[in-house]
Amino acid sequence: MKVHHLNCATLRTPAGVLVCHCLAVETPAGLLLVDTGLGLEALRLPRARLGASFPLFCRPRLEEAETALRQIERLGFKSADVRHIVLTHLDIDHAGGLSDFPQATVHLLADELAAFQAPALRRERLLYRPLPAARWRTYSPGAADWLGFANACPLEGLPEDILLVPLPGHTRGHAGVAVRCEDGWLLHCGDAYFNRGELDGRLSLLGLYANLVQADHAARLESLRRLRALAARASARLFCSHDPSELKNKA
């Protein structure tokens, strides 16, 4: 499967310039996106789509050329070619582009959709923003083993080379997305960490931000511990959503 690494939004935070690292994957079941960035609607109706809290800290650049839709068009595809979207979680910088791909089936953990539909935590009320109705396909932590992660979920209608890997904590139903390409496994870790240094246990301003916006502290630390162990085994290439150096190096 051919994998394209995309930056689907640039965020100018007080802690530095961040990217929104998404994937476009050419699969036998059609084009698939892992996360969608902000999307065109955020440019047209920024206040309505982004709310007040997210732009305050993240200061998104809002450039049409960075939207997932315009980027896949430059690769020679159109919106309807995107048959599947796999989401790490439903924060607006990951799911905002859903409205640009109305024909896609959207795969995510059931806990994430439940949290989005009935926000109970302060972070959920602040950071989840209205999204269009989508063709949701939800999963409960599964029974598939993926490199020692015992609760991975194979995805309906997709090759076994793509799995959701539950990594809760940042949000209640947060997950990584594993993709096997020609030279081995990639794991898109979403917002399980924000900066590569966190995998080495280094403290950063973004680590503090991660604490502020987490749904479950203990679960987030456990997910991070498991990712550190995986990175140490070097059996997959890990990257998160927002670290520009990982995007530059393509993990």
Residues lying near Zn ion in the complex (CB under 5 A) are found at 93, 191, 241
| Least gap, CB of 81 to Zn ion (angstroms) | 25
The CA-to-CA distance between both ends of the chain, in Å, stands at 17
| Least gap, CB of 160 to Zn ion (angstroms) | 27
Distance CA 58, CA 45 (A): 17
69: amino acid identity, one letter: L
| Least gap, CB of 94 to Zn ion (angstroms) | 6
| Least gap, CB of 203 to Zn ion (angstroms) | 19
| Least gap, CB of 165 to Zn ion (angstroms) | 17
Query: Which are the contacts of 96, defined by CB distance < 8 A and separation ≥ 6?
Result: 9, 36, 37, 38, 39, 41, 42, 49, 50, 129, 131
What does 96-118 look like in DSSP terms, one character per residue?
GGGGG-TTSEEEEEHHHHHHHHS
Q: Which is nearer to Zn ion, 5 or 142 (CB)?
A: 5
Q: Which is nearer to Zn ion, 112 or 191 (CB)?
A: 191
Closest of 113, 130, 107 to residue 179, by C-alpha? 107
Closest of 123, 128, 125 to residue 98, by C-alpha? 128
Q: Which is nearer to Zn ion, 41 or 93 (CB)?
A: 93
Q: Which is nearer to Zn ion, 99 or 241 (CB)?
A: 241
Q: List the structure tokens of 31.
A: 């084009």
| Least gap, CB of 18 to Zn ion (angstroms) | 8
The beta-carbon contacts of 221-227 under 8 Å, at least 24 apart in sequence, are 221/169, 222/169, 223/167, 223/168, 223/169, 223/170, 223/174, 223/192, 224/169, 224/192, 224/193, 224/198, 224/199, 226/149, 226/167, 227/167, 227/176, 227/187, 227/189, 227/192, 227/193, 227/199
Q: Which is nearer to Zn ion, 191 or 198 (CB)?
A: 191
| Least gap, CB of 30 to Zn ion (angstroms) | 26
